[in-house]
A and B are shown apart, each in its own frame.
Chain A
Amino acid sequence: MIASLFNRWTWVMAWRDSRTHRQRLFLFISSIILGTAALVAVNSLGESLALAVSNQAKSLLGADFLIESRQPFSKELERAVDSLAKKADVAREISFGSMVYFPKQAKTRLSQIRAVTGDFPFYGTIETEPKSAYKTLNTGRHALIDNTLAIQFGVQLGDSVKIGDVSFLVSGILKEVPGEAAVAAVIGPRVYIPPMYVDSTNLIQVGSRVTYKAFFKLPSRVGAKAVVDSLKPILNLTSATATTAEERQASLGRTLENLYRFLNLVGFIALLLGSVGVASAVNVYVKQKLQTVATLRCMGASSSQAFAIYLIQTFAMGLIGVSIGAALGVFVSAFLPRLLGDFLPIQVEFIISLSAIAIGVAIGLLMAIAFALLPLIAVRNISPLLVLRSSVDDENIQQDRLRYVVFAFITLVVLLFATLQTDNALSIGERLKQGAFITLGLGVSFGLLALVAKGAMVSARKFFPKRWNYVLRQGLANLYRPNNQTLVLMLSLGFGTMLISLMYLLQAMLIQQVELTSKENQPNLVFFDVQSDQRKGVEELLAAVDAPVMRTIPIVTMRIAAVKGKTVAEARRDSTIKSAWLWEYRVSYRDTLNETETLVKGELGKPVTSPNDSIKISINEFLAQALQVELNDEITFDVQGVPVKCFVGSIRKVDFRRIQPSFSILFPTGVLEDAPQFYAVLTRATDDEHSAEIQQAMVEAFPNVSAIDLGLILSTVDSILDKVSLVIEFMALFSILTGVAVLIGSVLISRFQRIRESVLLRTLGAVRRQVVAIMTVEYLLLGFLASLSGVMLSAMASVILAQTVFKFAFVPSPLPIVVMMMVMMLLTLAIGTVGSRGVHGQSPLEVLRNEV
């Protein structure tokens, strides 16, 4: 075999034999162009991301390291920070959530308020419009608002924004903050105000969730890690954490790598589909070469020489195909950073990566050749007897055992590729397991698609509609024409359809899930941070705007002091401490369960009526796991300086998806009533207008009270899912376009056959309109069957996902499914029509004469 590959005659013969078929051969290979392009584009993106993260590491944090806490820094920590300030630049930030109110637009929105002192960011810049807005922020009662707010509410420079008790002038629009992805602004738009006005806003009250940060820029020879390590003894005594730029870089690097791997997998699927197209097309090509090979074998060519001729042709065309794919991939890679821009906290520049090109070309060529081998190896078994008898050898062509070896090789390549896309922090065994799972998943998906496609074709044949008119019946029968590529087309178009419709359905499912959480008589608006002295006023205000007070929930903040007798300090010292020990808990008290809760173990604690009663708390099952506690275990809480000893009386399951406050820890009544607390008030708005009216009234009367409404959650979730879907749909488009390439190839390959059929029909008396109608029916049916397979599978997958992962009954909306199918059918018809131009204009006599 090797000798044949290096034999001059084999190469000369490969060239000569391809003379009249080069265009056709190229069409076969064109189906791998897009898959290769996807891989090159994604691999280039991966390199660009890695380079950007490396170059912009420090601007991810804006500093060399930061210390962060949910409480004001302790005295020891402040002393340490002051000491560091003598040799390092320090900047401080205080941030908290609050409603912002735009009087001119009469609109409110929950936002993240930030106030910064010092020269932050030390690396990178906060981009604003106008450019100097951030620098001049502290020169007056100014505010910088996030671009999302400006767009959403039509806010302009010079408008006012009320934050708490203070009105600010909008002096700038925030475009970019170093280290933060634009998509974060969709969830929590940012507003910067001068630190001197924070207290005046009166927003920082009991229960407010405030984050305190200190940013540090060290002298060039001082390592951040060493400094952070030196601070560890102090940090361990508090709930503050320190993060270096390197740690942030590593964390972001891992996240981006996961993104890149996912996209790589989607791109690989396009290549896989294209390779299936190659196999099918080469199969047709080999059948057309049977007589030539038989003749050569008669003349004395060996089986390996004959095989080598076609392997060389396939390799050459494959090389051209992947080269074009690589060039296209480089072009596409220029757009990928823009597509992902909202999700990336760094600026990613387009680079031409030779290694990405090499990887894409190598994998593309390997897959194309591997799949082409499946039909090609049959060339080895073509008998020279075929020159005498055409009916010989179909059996031999099918039964070559080497096909199984090639098939095993392909499976191995897919497994290797899938394994390489898994997290490289895992062990080899774990990675192989995940890779095998992905490979199996791909195999099952293709298998199911093929099964559905085959089933549709078999059913169409079995229940052939004999009563349909001739045009319809002939159009259907054309799908079974000899050497048809119907199954492969259905596979490639169907898979692309499945991916895209799955995205739509998943998005619809997640939205539906959020919508379902707000049935009638459920609250759809929550006001929180209601202070004790505001409670009555809030309830009266709600009554005044016809909003029922459905529930008022008391909330007390506390921390864990000890678990099972061991204090936090002791646990830190012997390193048995868990992160859950350090959290600040927002806890409520009642004696009944609500509709989001179910008891798993134990009983809800009885009201405490005397100082000698044990306090039996109820905790949720995840927290029980995190704290490693069981029923009757002791937990001591620090309730704002007062130790309270409790026992685990019950463990609950909580559905956190509902739009109402849910609590990891519940106290019985009779314990916390006198503790400093604030409230959440639940109400229900009749519609969006009513909700806006209620919120506006609330922010005017009680500026510190924040609101979450279902409408906001829905639009936020929808907005984020739209962005995520766009990225995945872009990649899925490669699969669809691959299917289109296979379709175009198939139409052109069968062109001569169609001309013959058209001529024969016209000779027998069919008019042109009838012949065109037959072709139209054929392509519409093909598009219908392909898209039907895809949407059926995506619908099944989404229903299963909803039940097993999200635990609710999802009913897919028919409209997007129908639209998708219509689009696929029309696309298939359009391609078929364009590719068949001129077929129906051929002179019958000319064609028949050529036949003879």
Chain B
Amino acid sequence: MSQTILSVKDLTKTYHSGEQLLTVLHRVSFSLSEGDSCAIVGPSGSGKTTLLGLCAGLDRQTSGSVSLCGITIDTLSEDDRAKVRNQFVGFVFQNFQLIPTLTALENVLVPLELRGEKVDEKEAIELLDRVGLGKRLYHYPAQLSGGEQQRVAIARSFINRPKILFADEPTGNLDGETSEKIESLLFELNREAKTTLVLVTHNLDLARKTERIIRLKNGAVVSDSLNEIQNENFNPTMI
């Protein structure tokens, strides 16, 4: 039986907006095992990004529980959550989120350097080579195209051999052709590393490349199925 990497139970998130209480997520529950891939889809404002943030320990829930690799992160301090992320989590963001003052190689090395371990650049160089940027090691993000920056981000997300990878609209800022390449790269590396993948997207084609699709609407799970749309009323153009 494979290990449970992510376990989410009755996760709820509410915000105060003036005098109103807004429930952004309502009693969301699911779990993912090692190697699983999952897409979280839903219309704008459905709570996808909020859910991703909570699962990755970037935010604190109002109620419910999140467990990453067997560690319940609910009561951990911010610094302890950071340690957990460094140990087990990789990220790929829509806006790439590379540090502009670091070279491609240095960006990839950040997660390892944060561990305080002696860093061997070899692995980072190999990863960058793997993503097709072997000759751009010392270039700054400003010198790279969008697709190239996202590749650096992907290499960075795998350098610490994460147990789980969170990707938030990884191709949201890229054109069609580049998006396809990035998607292929992402899934390929994911398969090789046997990482659990959580992908937030409004792109149904991308969502279908995962094994499982969790659909959110108004903060609640409306469907949680293995790679098919259940609701006949669901219109992809509405996403």
> Interface of chain A, helix or strand or loop or mixed?
helix
Q: Are A17 and B101 in contact (CB under 8 A)?
A: yes
Given A7-B116, A16-B102, A296-B110, A385 and B97 touching (CB < 8 A)?
no
0/1 string, B27-65, CB within 8 A of A gives 1:
000000000000000000000010011001011000000
Size of interface on B: residues with Cβ below 8 Å to A = 31
The answer to whether B97 touches A387 (Cβ under 8 A) is yes
Instruction: State which of A16, A296, A300 has its C-beta within 8 Å of the C-beta of B106.
Output: A16
Asked whether A20 is an interface residue with its Cβ less than 8 Å from the other chain, the reply is yes
Q: Does A106 contact B (CB under 8 A)?
A: no
What residues of A have a CB within 8 angstroms of the CB of B226 in the complex?
none
Across-interface contacts of B53 in A (CB, < 8 A): 385, 388-389
Q: Are B91 and A20 in contact (CB under 8 A)?
A: no
Please tell me if the beta carbons of A300 and B114 are within 8 angstroms of each other in the complex: yes
Interface members, chain A 283-306 (any B CB < 8 Å): 291-292, 294-305
A302 CA / B85 CA spacing, docked (Å): 11
Q: Within B122-177, which residues are at the interface with A (CB < 8 Å)?
A: 156, 168
Given A384-B58, A387-B93, is A300 in contact with B101 using a C-beta cutoff of 8 Å? no
User: Which of B49, B85, B95, B168 sits near A299, CB closer than 8 Å?
Assistant: B85
A-B contact count (CB 8 A): 82
Interface pick from B76-84, B191-199, B206-214: B76-84
Cβ B115 vs Cβ A16 within 8 A: no
How far apart are the CA atoms of A304 and B114 in the complex, in Å?
A: 12
Contact A298 to B115, CB < 8 A, known contacts A303-B78, A385-B59, A388-B168: no
Among B85, B110, B115, B116, max chain A CB count under 10 A is at: B110
Nearest A residue to B93, CB-CB: A387
Determine whether the beta carbon of A383 is less than 8 Å from that of B59.
Answer: yes
In contact, B52 and A9 (Cβ under 8 angstroms)? no
User: Does A21 interact with chain B (Cβ within 8 Å)?
Assistant: yes
Q: Are A389 and B49 in contact (CB under 8 A)?
A: yes
Residue of B nearest to A20 (CB): B101
Chain A nearest CB from B69 CB (Å) reads 14
Q: Within 8 Å of chain A (Cβ to Cβ): is B99?
A: yes
| CB pair A300 B111 closer than 8 Å | yes
B58/A299 in contact, CB under 8 A: no
For residue A386, which residue of chain B has the nearest CB? B58
Whether A21 pairs with B110 at a CB distance below 8 angstroms is no
Q: Which B residues lie within 8 Å of A849 (CB)?
A: none
Cβ A295 vs Cβ B97 within 8 A:
yes
CB within 8 A of A9: which of B98, B102, B114, B168? B114
Mark contacts of A526-544 with chain B using CB atoms, 8 A cut-off: 1 yes-contact digit, 0 otherwise.
0000000000000000000
Cβ–Cβ contact B115 & A300, under 8 A: yes
Tell me the residues in window 84-104 of chain B with beta carbons closer than 8 Å to chain A beta carbons: 85-87, 91, 93, 95, 97-102
CB contact list, A430-459 vs B, under 8 A:
none
A18 within 8 A of partner (CB): yes
Q: Most chain-B Cβ atoms within 10 A of its Cβ — which of A16, A383, A387, A388?
A: A388
CB of B180 closer than 8 Å to a CB of A? no
* Cβ-closest chain B residue relative to A390: B95
> Across the interface, which residues of A come within 8 angstroms of B113, CB to CB?
9, 12-13
Interface residues on chain A, number (Cβ under 8 Å): 30
Contacts A9-B113, A295-B97, A301-B114: A388 and B58 contacting too (C-beta < 8 A)? yes
* A18 B101 Cβ-Cβ under 8 A: yes
> A21's contact among B49, B93, B101, B111, by CB below 8 Å, is which?
B101
A1-24: CB near B (< 8 Å → 1, else 0) gives 000000101001100111111000
A219 and B52 CA atoms in complex are apart in Å by 94
CB-based contact A303/B79 at 8 Å: yes
Residues of B within 8 A of A291 (CB): 97
Chain A 290-334, CB-CB to B under 8 Å as 1, else 0, gives 011011111111111100000000000000000000000000000
User: How many angstroms from the CA of A19 to the CA of B138 in the assembled complex?
Assistant: 14
If A9-B116, A387-B91, A388-B49 touch, does A300 touch B86 (CB 8 Å cutoff)?
yes
Contact present for A297 and B82 (CB under 8 Å) = yes
**A299-B86 in contact (CB<8A):** yes
Cβ-defined contact, A299 with B59, below 8 A: no
A494 to chain B, nearest CB (A): 35
User: Which residues from chain A contact B52 at a C-beta distance below 8 Å?
Assistant: 388
Contact with B along A369-400 (1 / 0, CB 8 A): 00000000000000111011100000000000
Q: How far is the CA of A417 from the CA of B137 in the complex (A)?
A: 51
Contact of B58 with A298 in the complex, beta carbons under 8 Å:
yes
Give the CA-CA distance A302 to B143 in the complex, in Å.
29
Chain A residues positioned under 8 Å from B56 (CB to CB): 298
Complex Cα distance, B91 from A384, in Å, reads 12
* Cβ of A852 to closest chain B Cβ, rounded Å: 10
Also in contact, A302 and B97, with CB within 8 A (given A385-B53, A387-B91):
no
Closest Cβ neighbor of A8 among chain B residues: B116
Tell me the smallest distance from the CB of A517 to a CB of chain B, in Å. Answer: 67
Contact, CB under 8 Å: B116 / A302: no
CA distance A387 to B53 in the complex (A): 10
* B136 smallest CB distance to A (angstroms): 17
A295 to B115, CA, bound (A): 15
- Contacts A301-B82, A385-B59 given: A296-B93 contact, CB under 8 Å? no
The distance from the CB of A263 to the nearest CB of chain B, in whole angstroms, is 42
Task: Pick the contact of B110: A299, A302, A303 (CB < 8 A).
Answer: A299
In the bound complex, what is the Cα–Cα distance between A18 and B101 (angstroms)?
7
> Could you tell me the distance between the alpha carbons of A9 and B86 in the complex, rounded to whole angstroms?
15
A300 near B102 with CB under 8 A, answer no
Distance between Cα atoms of A632 and B59 in the complex (Å): 87
A-side contacts of B99, CB under 8 Å: 17, 292, 295-296
Contact in complex: A300, B168 (CB < 8 Å):
no
On chain A, the residues within 8 Å of B98 by CB distance are 295
- Check if A20 sits within 8 Å of B86, measured CB to CB: no
Q: In the bound complex, how far is the Cα of B79 from the Cα of A129, in angstroms?
A: 78
Minimum Cβ distance to chain B for residue A306 (Å): 9
User: Given the complex, which residues of A lie within 8 Å of B78, measured CB to CB?
Assistant: 297, 303, 383
CA distance A742 to B184 in the complex (A): 51
Residues of B within 8 A of A16 (CB): 101-102, 106
The CA-CA distance from A291 to B114 in the complex, in Å, is 17
Nearest CB in chain B: distance from A307 CB, A:
11
Tell me the smallest distance from the CB of B216 to a CB of chain A, in Å. Answer: 15
Q: Which A residues touch B82, using CB under 8 A?
A: 297, 300-303, 384
**A18-B101, A292-B99 are known contacts. Are A298 and B91 too (CB-CB below 8 A)?**
yes
Residues in A with CB closer than 8 Å to B156 are 299
Residues of B within 8 A of A292 (CB): 99-101
**Are A299 and B102 touching (Cβ within 8 A)?**
no
Which among A21, A294, A300, A384 is the interface contact of B87 at CB below 8 angstroms? A300
CA distance A300 to B111 in the complex (A): 7
In the docked arrangement, what's the CA distance between A305 and B93, Å?
22
Contact of B58 with A385 in the complex, beta carbons under 8 Å = yes
- 22 examples of A-B residue contacts, CB within 8 angstroms: A9-B114, A9-B116, A20-B101, A291-B97, A296-B99, A298-B58, A298-B97, A299-B85, A299-B86, A299-B91, A299-B114, A300-B82, A300-B83, A300-B111, A300-B114, A301-B82, A301-B114, A303-B82, A305-B114, A384-B58, A385-B58, A389-B49
Which are the 5 A-B pairs with shortest beta-carbon distances? Answer: A300-B86, A302-B79, A300-B114, A385-B58, A19-B101
Q: Residues on A close to B: CB < 8 A?
A: 7, 9, 12-13, 16-21, 291-292, 294-305, 383-385, 387-389
Known: A18-B101, A388-B93. 15 other contacts (CB 8 A): A13-B113, A17-B99, A20-B101, A295-B99, A298-B85, A299-B85, A300-B83, A302-B83, A304-B79, A384-B82, A385-B59, A387-B58, A387-B91, A387-B93, A387-B95
